Amino acid sequence: MTRLAPGDPAPDFSLPTDTGETLSLKELRGRKVVLYAYPAAMTPGCTKQACDFRDSLASLQASGYEVVGISPDKPAKLATFRERDALTFPLVSDADKAVLTAYGAFGEKQLYGKTVTGVIRSTFVIDEDGKIEKALYNVKATGHVAKLRRDLGLD
């Protein structure tokens, strides 16, 4: 499985969103992007992480960061997630997991002591030129956004 490292080009994507539109990484060039990969919308850990990003969005955006969530969920489920939890950033659907795989965020992982294949909870900070600034794998749902904010010098 490929893991991205700082300086690597961020794999481009063009994926359907929770609003039915398409979002391309190219559209975000010139801005810093926090792309976070999560296993499944509306599960407890993923909800906690999404709400933490929502609650930090204003300060992240004030520092020049756009936030995008990515999961294999279908756009309709992402729309329900957005509405249920008042999420205010785009959620993209990678149903075939090709983009998640390109980022090294899909593959074997440990879950309750078993090896399974699935989405590896990960966060990528992408610079204005489309290069990886940070690639964080196997992050925790709880407390991750606060740690990321500290790592980015926002707190």
Give the residue numbers annotated as catalytic, written as ranges: 46
Among the listed residues 125, 130, 123, the one whose alpha carbon sits nearest the alpha carbon of residue 49: 123
Instruction: List 119's β-bridge partners, or say none.
Output: 106
> Is residue 33 a contact partner of residue 11, using CB atoms and an 8 Å limit?
no
Q: CA–CA separation, 52 vs 28, rounded Å?
A: 22
Strands (E), the chain: 14-16, 22-24, 32-37, 65-71, 91-93, 106-111, 114-119, 122-126, 132-137
In DSSP terms, which residues pair with 137 in a beta bridge? 122
